[in-house]
Every structure is written in C-alpha cells, then in structure tokens.
Amino acid sequence: MLATTTALMMALFFRQLDPFGFSAQMEGILGPRQIQRFLTVWWIHSGLYLGLLVSIVWIIVDIARLRKRQERLGGAGGVDQGA
C-alpha cells in the first residue's frame, strides 16, 4: 500500500523533473508528449521501488521492536517457540 501511494505521489509531484537528462537523450527518438509519458512512468517506477524499500525497512524495525519487547517481558509471552 505504501509503495502504491509513494508511486502515485512521485508521479504527480515530480513528473516535470528530469534529473538524469532523459529528455535531451531521447529528443530525436521521441516526441515531447512521449518523453513526458516516459518521465511519468519512470517516476511511478521510482516511487514503487522507494515505497517498497521504505516498507521493508519499516517491517524490519517493527520486528526488532517486537523482539526487544518480548525479551523485556521474559520470552514469547507464553507462545511455544519449539525445542
């Protein structure tokens, strides 16, 4: 869900930006409208990857906090973790 939201936000807010100069590189190959579409799709992909990365880090931090809390409480809270 976070990845999708990030992708949409990046496409909406940053689609006019061209940080890597794609427009200049594709000028003779694609028309202005096609270049704009390419940049929009590029920002969507970048947003998906950024959102995925943030989600993974968030989950790892959440798991670490849960484990720390369980250690403070003296184990798994009554859940058998196996032998």
Specify the pTM: 0.68
Question: Residue 21 falls within a domain, yes or no?
Answer: yes
Question: Residue 33 falls within a domain, yes or no?
Answer: yes
Question: Residue 67 falls within a domain, yes or no?
Answer: yes
Question: Residue 65 falls within a domain, yes or no?
Answer: yes
pLDDT of residue 56: 95
Residue-number span of the structural domain to which 60 is assigned? 2-71
Q: 């009554």: which residue's tokens?
A: 78
Question: Residue 76 falls within a domain, yes or no?
Answer: no
pLDDT surpassing 80 at residue 62: yes
Band of residue 15 on the pLDDT scale cut at 50, 70, 90: confident
Question: Residue 30 falls within a domain, yes or no?
Answer: yes
Mean pLDDT across the stretch 13-34? 89
pLDDT surpassing 80 at residue 36: yes
Query: Are 43 and 14 within 8 A, CB to CB?
Result: yes
Half-sphere exposure of 69 (CA within 13 A, CB side): 7
**Interhelix angle for 32-72 vs 2-14, to 10°?**
140
Q: How many domains does the chain have?
A: 1
